[in-house]
Amino acid sequence: MSARDRLLPRRSVLSGLVATGAAGISGVESASPAAAPIPVRQDIVRLPPQRLASLEAAIGEMQRRSRRDPADPKGWRVNALAHTHVCSSVSNADLAQVHGCWWFLPWHRAFLAVTEWKLRALSGDRTIALPYWNWSSDRRIPAPFARAGSALADAARYTPDRDLLAVEVDHLSFDPLRASLGVAALEARSFPARTPDAIPASFGGIAKPNAAGWHGHSRMETVPHNAIHNYAGGEASDGAVGDMTELARAAFDPIFFAHHGNLDRLWEIWRQDPARKATEPTDRDFIEKQFLFPWLDGTIIAVPMADVLDTQRLGYVYDSLGVLRDGLVPAADAIRPDAARRRLASALLRVPSDAMRCELRIHGVQPGDRPLSVEIAMARPDNPASWISVGAHAMGSAHGPAVFPDTEPRFDVTAAVRLLAAPVVDVAVLPLALGVGQQSWPPFRNTGMEIVAADV
């Protein structure tokens, strides 16, 4: 493949719908035929200043275009709306909806790549690559995204004044086995879920379409994905929510691309294991899929799945496939679950005896009209010093037909109940602040919870 093909959208022919990709955009056809290195997506904290400046200039130019003309196909808004159209403006059951099914990781990968191609084409800097936010290591919004006046800070954000908690970034430190993964979702052994029951434990989610119309969040989608959206967007004291917290506006915030960059990188980390990669679907529906995006000249381009499954064909590689930067484990959370914290729900639950694996299941969770992130913790009823944080659940605000398809969250609590060694445990749902000084939370609606013996 030529360097040009690597850096730019491939021309696609899709009866009538698709025009000619990037051809004709200034600087594109004159790309040197000599092999150019594949652009490297870097950790934002390691991005050299001149590369950061180039990225800011390119994103800033797209934002300015949208301010002048909201319909400008070269603008940031038109690009961001591509996400709105497959997110909040279609219901979970709609075939165009890419969340809650196995299009979640591939679609966002294609969207990031197309955005990157646009930034390269518009700026003439063919080395631009979207940096990622390694929230496993950096539990606050990285400084370049917060610098006043920067294009990267041009977004509605009400980020709470606290670090992301370990449970929000899916670092389950109470369980040595899963803590060693850095992000517990990496333990998922299969990309697809073949039954609705298997969706929460799968890395990639359920087929879409599927005969029964199932949908639901795969292992990464609620946590860490939603939890970090909620943190980055936050909620203001007057009830306004940030771009990242509101489905319809999430991709307006440049940090969306750094957040999804890290999720995309985790996919690459996960698939380094050949046995896991081998589970990626070979179904024709999957490998022959094409994703459509608006291009800079107002036409539609198609990104074929064959490219999505190979980042080099999309035109990028990552600087590192380590979960934690330099392998350094961040300090333990400053906030700990304890008996004194407000509870949105709680229950005394019996622990099944002799179970090889125990799962905490919360039933009938309904999203409200405000974003909500909660930590799930358990303790021995007779020992308030024994609280362990076993996971989180997070729902943003969706003012549209899409809702959060994760109404039956499950948590593997095998290690936790072993540690607590009690026949009955106290389980609490603790709200996490998403606003500065937040004191009130929407209710956590659910129909019950239980701990069950699960299949190994």
Beta carbon nearer to ligand C2O, 87 or 165: 87
Beta carbon nearer to ligand C2O, 110 or 451: 110
Nearest distance from residue 399's CB to ligand C2O, in Å?
A: 15
318: helix, strand or coil: strand
Beta carbon nearer to ligand C2O, 184 or 255: 255
Nearest distance from residue 372's CB to ligand C2O, in Å?
A: 16
Beta carbon nearer to ligand C2O, 193 or 227: 227
Binding mask 253-292 for ligand C2O (x = CB under 6 A): -------x--------------------------------
First to last CA, the chain: 44
Nearest distance from residue 241's CB to ligand C2O, in Å?
A: 15
Residues in a beta bridge with 362: 449
* Euclidean distance between CA atoms 280 and 314, whole angstroms: 18
Beta carbon nearer to ligand C2O, 74 or 225: 225
Nearest distance from residue 352's CB to ligand C2O, in Å?
A: 35
Smallest Cα–Cα separation from 77: which of 68, 64, 66?
66
Question: Considering the rule CB under 6 A, would residue 99 count as an interface residue with ligand C2O?
Answer: yes
Give Rg (Cα) of the chain.
Answer: 22
Beta carbon nearer to ligand C2O, 110 or 428: 110
Nearest distance from residue 263's CB to ligand C2O, in Å?
A: 8
285's enclosing H/E stretch is helix 284-287
Tell me, rounded to whole angstroms, the distance of Cα 452 from its chain centroid.
28
Q: How many CA atoms lie within 13 A of 24 on its CB side?
A: 9
> Exposed, middle or buried by CB within 10 Å (0-12, 13-18, 19+), for 361?
middle
Cβ contact 441:371 at 8 Å:
no
Which ranges of 100-226 does DSSP label H, i.e. alpha helix? 104-123, 143-146, 176-179
Residues in a beta bridge with 345: 429
Binding mask 48-87 for ligand C2O (x = CB under 6 A): -----------------------------------x---x
Count of residues in contact with ligand C2O, rule CB under 6 A: 8
**Position of minimal CB gap to ligand C2O:** 87
Residues 326-385 that bind ligand C2O (CB under 6 A): none
Nearest distance from residue 118's CB to ligand C2O, in Å?
A: 18
Beta carbon nearer to ligand C2O, 99 or 289: 99
Beta carbon nearer to ligand C2O, 260 or 393: 260
Which of residues 6, 41, 215, 229 is near ligand C2O by CB under 6 A? 229
Smallest Cα–Cα separation from 244: which of 232, 261, 226?
232
Helices then strands (H, E): number in the chain?
13, 13
DSSP 398-413: --SS------S-EEE-
Q: Which two tokens stand for residue 186?
A: 């990496």
* Euclidean distance between CA atoms 381 and 378, whole angstroms: 9
Nearest distance from residue 327's CB to ligand C2O, in Å?
A: 27
Binding mask 105-134 for ligand C2O (x = CB under 6 A): ---x--------------------------
Nearest distance from residue 140's CB to ligand C2O, in Å?
A: 19
Smallest Cα–Cα separation from 432: which of 338, 331, 342, 339?
342
Question: Considering the rule CB under 6 A, would residue 250 count as an interface residue with ligand C2O?
Answer: yes
Chain residues that interact with ligand C2O, rule: CB under 6 A? 83, 87, 99, 108, 225, 229, 250, 260
